[in-house]
Amino acid sequence: MAKKDRHVSETPATQWLKAHGIDYTEHVYDYVEHGGTAESSRQLGVPEHEVVKTLVMQDDRGTPLVVLMHGDRQVSTKALAREIGVKSVTPCAPEVAQRHSGYLVGGTSPFGLKKAMPVFVEASVLALPRILINGGRRGFLVGLPSLVLTGVLGARLVRCALVG
């Protein structure tokens, strides 16, 4: 069961949020290997649609990028490639994603990335007033207004969600 009174020490993500004056709430849960957003939403008692996953991918030239997607949706890599004007997009291998982001897979946040990368967000995420998104550590999400993603973070809107 999630322990809402637990505090997580600072991460590059929370340092970034504080440096940009963004108020957020902390949501700690017991990390389960391969549990994904289904597990975090279950433990925290929130709809999986409101938990946003951070995915590190790369285009056909090997250029890394970040995609932010609803927890209960998949990314159509074909639609994403079309939207951003590249031939193809594929997920990065875990060790490559970690090298680019500076975060362990399962704890990747779009805030405080080790390497500057373009960030793309599924447009329908912005219809949610608040989201939960990884805070830079496994078992740790932060709650904040979805508009932070396009406002302060500068994510570009895309339409690439698959139901499933």
Segment 72-79 shows an average pLDDT of 97
Q: State the pLDDT at residue 142.
A: 98
**What's the domain count of the chain?**
1
Structure tokens at 136: 């830079």
Q: Are 121 and 148 in contact (CB under 8 A)?
A: no
- Tell me, yes or no, whether 18 lies in a domain: yes
- The answer on pLDDT for 11 being more than 80 is yes
Q: State the pLDDT at residue 7.
A: 63
Instruction: Determine what percent of the chain is predicted with pLDDT higher than 90.
Output: 92
- What are the pLDDT digits (tens) for 117-144? 999 999 999 999 999 999 999 999 999 9
Distance CA 152, CA 163 (A): 28
Distance CA 98, CA 54 (A): 12
- Tell me, yes or no, whether 109 lies in a domain: yes
- Tell me, yes or no, whether 129 lies in a domain: yes
Q: State the pLDDT at residue 19.
A: 97
The enclosing domain of 123 has a CATH number of: 3.90.960.10
- The answer on pLDDT for 81 being more than 60 is yes
Q: State the pLDDT at residue 6.
A: 58
Residue-wise DSSP of 7-75: -PPP-HHHHHHHHTT---EEEE----TT-HHHHHHHHHTS-GGGEEEEEEEEETT--EEEEEEETTEEE
- What are the pLDDT digits (tens) for 107-119? 999 999 999 999 9
- Tell me, yes or no, whether 2 lies in a domain: no
- The answer on pLDDT for 3 being more than 50 is no
Per the structure, the complete domain to which residue 115 belongs is given by 12-163
Q: State the pLDDT at residue 113.
A: 97
Burial class (CB in 10 A: 0-12, 13-18, 19+), 8: middle
Q: State the pLDDT at residue 9.
A: 81
- Tell me, yes or no, whether 1 lies in a domain: no
- Tell me, yes or no, whether 3 lies in a domain: no
- Tell me, yes or no, whether 7 lies in a domain: no
Segment 65-86 shows an average pLDDT of 97
- What are the pLDDT digits (tens) for 23-43? 999 999 999 999 999 999 999
